[in-house]
Amino acid sequence: MTVETRLPKLSTLSLVTMGLLMALQLVIKSFSVGPAFLKFSFTFLVAALVARLFGPWWGMMTAAVVDVIGTLMSGGPFFIGFTISAVLGSLIYALFLYGKPVSWPRLIIAQVIISVVVNAFLNTLWVAIMYKTPFWGLFPVRLLKQVIMTPIQVVLLYALFKSQMVNLIQKRLNL
Amino acid sequence: MSNFIFGRYLPLNSVVHRLDPRAKLLLSFCYIVLVFMANNPVSYLIIIAFTLGSILASKISLGFFLKGIRPLIWLIVFTVVLQLLFSPAGGHVYFHWAFINITQFGLVNSGYIFIRFLLIIMMSTLLTLSTQPLDIATGLASLMKPLRWVRVPVDTLAMMLSIALRFVPTLMDEANKIMNAQRARGVDFGEGGLLKQAKSLIPLMVPLFMSAFNRAEDLSTAMEARGYQDSEHRSQYRILTWQRRDTITWIIFVVAFAAILATRRW
């Protein structure tokens, strides 16, 4: 697994596409399904798409900006930990998906790492640091939520990346 | 299921509204550190006074802040109950059964957690209610400028952010139209189990992605036709200026911070 160390130069179309995908992420954030304790949002699809199309650097930077601006606009409390989680999530997607063929094992490994390490462990840690709540009290509940969500996320990611729409976007972006 | 509120700016004429967005952004980031520092009743009283003072200065009704707390109420209740039942032993024990312990230490701590949640949410709500989304974006882009030293393309990111904020309302309208079209075809958004609800959103996502990309193509063509070049020397329409009131606000914050450091239990 290699990481591109240079920041790839962007065409105007790529820049605008990333801007629109950021907007889409902010819009999709307001759509969530499921009960209060099992809220499920589709923002991971856009984050994964940006990471796959534009690589780790642009993926991480846009993830950080979307996290900060999305939190501030919605009136939620800003905490740098959650920005780190968003950046790491994007990095993991890019490491597994950027410039590589999409396959079930790749998607499953990437999503499981994100669900367990980032969503369950790190995000619980940030809540514990932020509000001084007991980590081990929250962790099992949040892990259980991830166990339910991960298979759905993997299936949706596979459907997205195998769709004609993504192929078409890649072709038009010359990627 | 959907909550089409993005940026909840309330246009009022108050000193908080007139503050430089950079001053407000930095204050909201540092405020969380301030809340971290408090660990006894006196330090909490200082933060409560600072927060209520800021709310009063904004001239915004307290009801708006209570609305900001509503979406997080379950997380707050869950966390407080967890803290109450499973905190380590300390002080008088009121109730004990198996691994459940309700102690004086647990009661005090859950009270602190409840206050901490309220304070942090109220201050974040204050920023959103008193600052326009575009001002937040401009402030953020300005605060990111030092990252140029580590070769972060700050101007490119600022441009992306401007495009994103400009197109959020457009894409929200688009999403509404698509949802209505799908409803007319019998799709039940928000009905059924988790999987069914997730499935029902797919017919919304695909056209939304395509619409976003089509708009990106049109916009990039228009930008290039007008000679757009991605460079560091672009001029700006919105120029931020740091005023005396921003400095005074920061002095008040530093005094509150010093008072908390002096009164907290080390």
Tell me the per-residue pLDDT of B106-116, one tens digit each, with 9 for 90 and over. 888 888 888 98
pLDDT exceeds 90 at position A169 = no
Write the residue in B32, B156, B208 that is nearest to A79 by C-beta. B32
Residue B139 has pLDDT above 80, yes or no: yes
Q: What pLDDT is recorded for position B93?
A: 77
Residue A2, pLDDT above cutoff 80: no
**Taking CA atoms, what residue in B is nearest to A15?**
B160
Q: How confident is the model at residue A126 (pLDDT cuts 50, 70, 90)?
A: very high
- Distance separating alpha carbons of residues B156 and A62, to the nearest angstrom: 11
What is the per-residue pLDDT for B1? Answer: 44
Say if residue A168's pLDDT is above 80. Answer: yes
pLDDT for the residue numbered A87: 97
Give mean pLDDT, residues A88-110: 95
Instruction: Evaluate the CA torsion angle B65, B68, B69, B70 in order and state its sign.
Output: positive
- Quick: pLDDT tens for B188-223: 776 777 777 777 777 788 888 888 999 999 999 999
Work out the average pLDDT over B90-112: 79
Smallest CA–CA distance from A20 into chain B, residue: B164
Q: A175 CA to chain B: closest CA distance, Å?
A: 14
**pLDDT at residue number B47:** 93
Lowest mean pLDDT among A73-77, A98-102, A125-129, B208-212: A73-77
Judged by a CB distance cut-off of 8 A, whether residue A135 touches chain B is no
Q: Determine the average pLDDT of the residues in B109-130.
A: 88
Residues A60-69, mean pLDDT to the nearest whole number: 92
Using CA atoms, how far apart are residues B21 and B27, in angstroms rounded to an integer? 10
Q: Which residue has the higher pLDDT, A127 or B87?
A: A127
Instruction: For residue B93, give the DSSP letter.
Output: E
Mean pLDDT of A95-101: 93
Q: What is the Cα–Cα distance from B176 to A61, expressed in whole angstroms?
A: 29
What was the pLDDT predicted at B2? 44
Interatomic CA distance for residues B74 and A41, integer angstroms: 18
Q: How far apart are the first and last CA of chain B?
A: 46
pTM: predicted TM-score of the whole model, two decimal places = 0.82
What Cα–Cα distance (Å) separates residue B216 from each residue in A69, B43, B244, B264?
Answer: 21, 50, 41, 53
- Mean pLDDT of the region B134-152: 88
Q: What angle do CA B48, A75, B192 make, to 5 degrees?
A: 125
CB contact under 8 A, B216 and A13: yes
For A143-163, letters b (16+ CB in 10 Å) and e give eebbeebbebbbbbbbebbee
What is the ipTM metric for this complex?
0.89
Decide if B144 contacts B110 (C-beta within 8 A). Answer: no
Query: Which of B220, B230, B231, B234 to probe by mutation at the A interface, max A CB count within 10 Å?
Result: B220
pLDDT single digits (tens) B22-32: 999 999 889 98
Q: In this predicted structure, which of A42-56, A121-135, B69-83 has the lowest mean pLDDT?
A: B69-83
A window 44-103, beta carbon within 8 A of B? 45, 49, 61-62, 65-66, 68-69, 71-80
Task: With CA atoms as reference, report the closest residue to A91 among A69, A120, A113.
Answer: A113
Of residues B36 and A97, the one with the higher pLDDT is A97
pLDDT category at A75 given cuts 50, 70, 90 is low
SS (H, E, C) B7-28: CCCCCCCCHHHHCCHHHHHHHH
| Residues of chain A by 3-state class (helix, strand, coil), percent to 5 | 75, 5, 20
Chain A residues inside the 8 Å CB shell of B129: 75
Residue B3 confidence class, pLDDT cut points 50, 70, 90: very low
Q: B82, A21: Cβ pair inside 8 Å?
A: no
Note whether A75 contacts B129, CB cutoff 8 Å.
Answer: yes
Q: Say whether A137 and B86 touch across the interface (CB within 8 A).
A: yes
Q: Read off the pLDDT band of B4 (50, 70, 90).
A: very low
Q: Does residue A91 surpass a pLDDT of 90?
A: yes
Mean pLDDT (chain B) is: 85
List, for residues B237-259, the tens digit of each pLDDT value: 778 889 999 999 999 999 999 99
pLDDT at A141: 85
Q: Which one of B4, B78, B136 has the shortest CB-CB distance to A73?
A: B136
A174 phi, psi to nearest 5 deg: 60, 40
Reported as a pLDDT band with limits 50, 70 and 90, residue A143 is very high
Choose between A133 and B13: higher pLDDT: B13
Q: What value does the mean pLDDT take over residues A87-116?
A: 95
Contact of A104 with chain B, judged by CB distance below 8 Å, is answered with no
